[in-house]
Structure 1
């Protein structure tokens, strides 16, 4: 009986590895930088709206992108176009304003 429990635990852990390995971590200043950029690009946007959108986008990025991909999106030396396009599509799909 113990062997079966151990095997079940090992199988469940193995299935969870790809999920844990894929998730990334945003830089600490992400939220404030995102809100400032959103308001700069759209001066009529309310701060609360920008905060909600940036919070949603942050959750999507952490869930869908690795640390390396998040770092690339935040780099000053050029951003991979495919990563940026994928990020925009994922955020747009998950965080579109409700009508």
Structure 2
């Protein structure tokens, strides 16, 4: 009898776990701005499709490893992010390098 009550409590919580895994840390509009800037820069040395794939990978890595505040600091147009934050970002997206 107790296991039934425990299952009734735990099942809804277990169903919510995938929702928390997809939390988006990008502040409103920031991801689109990142993608636009990244694809424009990457397209200078690789084709558009590959540039988009590379930038999507980078955006996903930043979302996984950074808080909203850190992403906002990285994308700030008024204040340059700290060297530590820039290094952390470069390390996070390092695995997204595509081959020509």
Is the structural similarity TM-score above 0.5?
Answer: yes
- Report the TM-score when normalising by structure 2: 0.68
Cα offset, 1:44, TM superposition? 3.3
Residue 82 of structure 1 is aligned with which of 72, 81, 84?
Answer: 84
2:67 is the alignment partner of 1:66: yes
How do 1:17-96 and structure 2 match up within 5 A?
24-25=25-26, 27=30, 28-39=32-43, 43-76=44-77, 77-93=79-95, 95-96=96-97
Cα offset, 1:7, TM superposition? 5.5
> Is residue 50–residue 98 contact of structure 2 (8 Å, CA) maintained in 1?
no
Cα offset, 1:47, TM superposition? 1.5
> Deviation above 3 Å: which 4+ runs of structure 1?
6-13, 18-21
Inter-partner Cα distance in structure 1 for 2:22 and 2:47 = 35
Aligned residues: 94
Change beyond 3 A, Cα 1:55–1:81: same
- Report the TM-score when normalising by structure 1: 0.69
SS of match in other structure, 1:79 = coil
Cα offset, 1:61, TM superposition? 1.0
